[in-house]
Structure 1
Amino acid sequence: MEMAKSQNCVSSLPVPVKKIWLDLIPPRIEIFTWFAMMGKINSKAKLLSLNIIRPSEALCIFCNATIECADHLLLLCEFSAGIWNWWLNLWGLRWALPGSLKDAFDQWAISGRNSFLKKVWRAIFSIIIWSIWKERNSRIFDNKSCSIAQIQDLILTRLSWWISGWGDPFPYTAAEIICNPLCLAWKSSDGAIKGPAIPSPPKPWSPPRNATLKWNVDALVSSSQSMSAIGGVLRNHKGVFMCVFSSPIPPIEINSAEVLAIFRAIQISMRYENIRSNHLEIESDSMNAVRWCNEDKGGPWNLNFQLNFI
């Protein structure tokens, strides 16, 4: 009976490939979305069908009540459904969850003429399932877990980093999106929708010189959730998206977190020949972090290794 239940999780309908490959998120997450809708990810149901694990080991890590197939894990589990409903509640929407991830993808749309919000809506589908999958793996393999609020912040943080690779002059940072997610309804013609005051939006992205690559790095520190994260986007002088990174870090002061983001960007650049063979620019919105990195000495003592490396 358990095996039959796991097999029913795979939809027999074709996956709408063209709606996935939109260059809104990193390719590996587009591929993950495609595999998830086909039921091809290494869920416990799949491992059970291959006799790799026992039936007693195949239950969902979140609810511990149902065989973990892709549809249950990423959509139907009470834990995952709560994350979907959180996103919908932000926009005052209600949705009866479909029976499969593919059906959910087919129905996933936002009405109106705001083209930027429509891109956000399409991207967030993959970001949500990717974030649930990352949380699942963290609980299984690292014995670590995030709260629902922390996962929600990570979803918005990932979205903000990947928005910066779209080429739209979106003016808000990750911290501002977390404080006021409704700023995602921004329109290029008339600015943001009305909502809580948002401080000093940064300037739109400016391209580097020819034959130069440019990193835009950012950091997020949430004192209320005791969490921090860093990320960066690399583009060439034409604005073509070349690389992205994102990573949680231990709770830390915001300027120090920006230094870690710069440090990580340089590490990645040195590792790959097609990056390190170019001139590089690194842009951060922290004046303190930039000053510490450019001075021969100074900055927090606990960042001596990173600053010396930079």
Structure 2
Amino acid sequence: MVHQDIIKGIWKGLVPHRVEIFAWLSMLAKINTRSRLLQIGIITPENSFCVFCNSSIETPDHLLIHCHLPSMIWTWWLNMWNLSWTQPASLKEAFHQWRPAKGGPFFKKIWAAAFFVIIWTIWKERNARIFSNISSSSRELQDLVLLRLCWWLKAWEDDFPYSADEVIRNPSCLNWEKSVAPRNSSQHLVPHLWSPPPIETLQWNVDASYKSHHDHAAVGGVLRNSMGNFVCLFSSPIPLLEINSAEVFAIFRAIKISINSDRINNHSLIIISDSSNAVQWCNQDSGGPWNLSFMLNFIRNARKQWLSLSIIHKV
């Protein structure tokens, strides 16, 4: 019955399925926080403290709600909409209380998706600090929340008119009135755990989303330097393509932006994609799908002419 209570309301298809699974496991206290690793004997008590505060045991509820950093992210989101809350005792309680006080059908979906995006962003930041020794500021995490929302809503059935840049500059445009009824969606994954490039090198993490059997697809990318600072980002709809072809489109868009930017084109560049097929096609001197010939030739010429351009597969 406990499992059934938690499952209710999770599987809405607004975010990638693995993020829904993560939320479900988090509410069941089944994710591999340090408290769980301590419980099963993998780490010692002195290594079980939260990476954000280093003063409390890292439980799912502490990590995703109660610690100072996640608390700041939740407060920031609520303050944007002139709301406040009494901090819930648990993540499960927070999920069941997570209802918008205003807004139309589209904003209700935004609000529902935001819960998943916030806890996923906190989890990714936790892993980046532990495994890569990289940390983002609270402002950068806020931007990542908005960016992930923009990536994932591109795979919805709503013709949302604003770009990710516009949303980050003015988040209130998420309270958009015109919408159409959602349909079941198939979404691709966002870039995985970020690791820093070498000094003086910039790194794109690109990704694509698509809705099978419909005419909706989108690409996005984030460019950061070796310190983890944001340099550029993009998110845009594209013609409907299967997911590997869409990843090529994302790589193509990242290179095109880089070539035309004086801030970028004099740096060494790394582009990370989680599509092994797309990366293989881009790194070959020929071949690949015929309908991608223009983009692939553009990418291959850029790869040969750039002083240092690496296109890498990473999952």
Structure 2 residue runs of 5 or longer lacking an equivalent are 180-209, 282-286
Q: Could you tell me whether the CA contact under 8 Å between 1:217 and 1:233 is conserved in 2?
A: yes
CA gap 1:33/1:244 in 2 versus in 1, 3 angstroms: farther
Q: Could you tell me whether the CA contact under 8 Å between 2:270 and 2:310 is conserved in 1?
A: no
- Which moves more between the two structures, 16-25 or 291-300? 291-300
- Picking from 213, 218, 221, the partner of 2:220 is 218
Q: Could you say what the CA RMSD is over the residues aligned between the two structures, in angstroms?
A: 4.5
1:227-282: per-residue Cα shift (whole Å, max 9, x none)? 14667799996x9999998xxx9xx998129999998487554779xxx9988679
Q: Could you tell me whether the CA contact under 8 Å between 1:216 and 1:234 is conserved in 2?
A: yes
- Equivalent position SS for 2:8: helix
1:267-298: per-residue Cα shift (whole Å, max 9, x none)? 554779xxx9988679xxxxxxx799389679
Matched to 1:137, the amino acid is N
- CA distance in 2 between partners of 1:46 and 1:86 (Å): 29
CA gap 1:215/1:72 in 2 versus in 1, 3 angstroms: same
- CA distance in 1 between partners of 2:64 and 2:87 (Å): 11
- Picking from 275, 294, 301, the partner of 2:306 is 301
Q: CA deviation at 1:23?
A: 0.6
- Equivalent position SS for 2:220: strand
- CA distance in 2 between partners of 1:160 and 1:31 (Å): 20
Q: Could you tell me whether the CA contact under 8 Å between 2:129 and 2:135 is conserved in 1?
A: yes
- Equivalent position SS for 1:156: helix
Matched to 2:87, the amino acid is L
Matched to 1:117, the amino acid is F
Q: Which residue of 2 aligns with 1:41?
A: 31
Q: Could you tell me whether the CA contact under 8 Å between 2:163 and 2:236 is conserved in 1?
A: no
Q: Which residue of 1 aligns with 2:188?
A: none
CA gap 1:162/1:77 in 2 versus in 1, 3 angstroms: same
Q: Could you tell me whether the CA contact under 8 Å between 1:213 and 1:280 is conserved in 2?
A: no
After TM superposition, the structure 1 = structure 2 runs for residues 172-191 of structure 1, keeping only pairs within 5 Å, are: 172-188=162-178
Matched to 1:301, the amino acid is W
Q: Could you tell me whether the CA contact under 8 Å between 1:221 and 1:254 is conserved in 2?
A: no
Q: Comparing both chains, which one has the higher relative contact order based on Cα–Cα distances under 8 Å and sequence gaps of 6 or more?
A: 2
- Equivalent position SS for 1:16: helix
Q: CA deviation at 1:301?
A: 2.8
- Picking from 106, 111, 117, the partner of 1:127 is 117
- CA distance in 2 between partners of 1:83 and 1:241 (Å): 32
- Picking from 170, 186, 195, the partner of 2:160 is 170
- CA distance in 2 between partners of 1:178 and 1:137 (Å): 24
Q: CA deviation at 1:188?
A: 1.1
- Equivalent position SS for 1:66: coil
**Correspondence 1:99 to 2:89:** yes
Q: Could you tell me whether the CA contact under 8 Å between 2:244 and 2:278 is conserved in 1?
A: no
Q: Which residue of 2 aligns with 1:255?
A: 257
Q: CA deviation at 1:17?
A: 1.2
- Equivalent position SS for 2:218: strand
**Correspondence 1:88 to 2:93:** no
Q: CA deviation at 1:221?
A: 5.8
Matched to 2:95, the amino acid is F
Q: Which residue of 1 aligns with 2:60?
A: 70
- Equivalent position SS for 1:127: helix
- CA distance in 2 between partners of 1:57 and 1:263 (Å): 32
TM-score, length-scaled by structure 1: 0.68
CA gap 1:211/1:177 in 2 versus in 1, 3 angstroms: closer
- CA distance in 2 between partners of 1:18 and 1:243 (Å): 35
- Picking from 46, 54, 58, the partner of 2:48 is 58
- CA distance in 2 between partners of 1:164 and 1:243 (Å): 17
- Picking from 77, 80, 105, the partner of 1:115 is 105
- The percent of aligned pairs where both chains have the same amino acid is 37
Q: CA deviation at 1:16?
A: 3.0
- CA distance in 2 between partners of 1:91 and 1:59 (Å): 33
Q: Could you tell me whether the CA contact under 8 Å between 1:32 and 1:41 is conserved in 2?
A: yes
Matched to 1:43, the amino acid is T
Count of residue correspondences = 261
1:21-77: per-residue Cα shift (whole Å, max 9, x none)? 101000000000000001000011111111111111101111111110000000011
CA gap 1:76/1:298 in 2 versus in 1, 3 angstroms: closer
Q: Which residue of 2 aligns with 1:198?
A: none
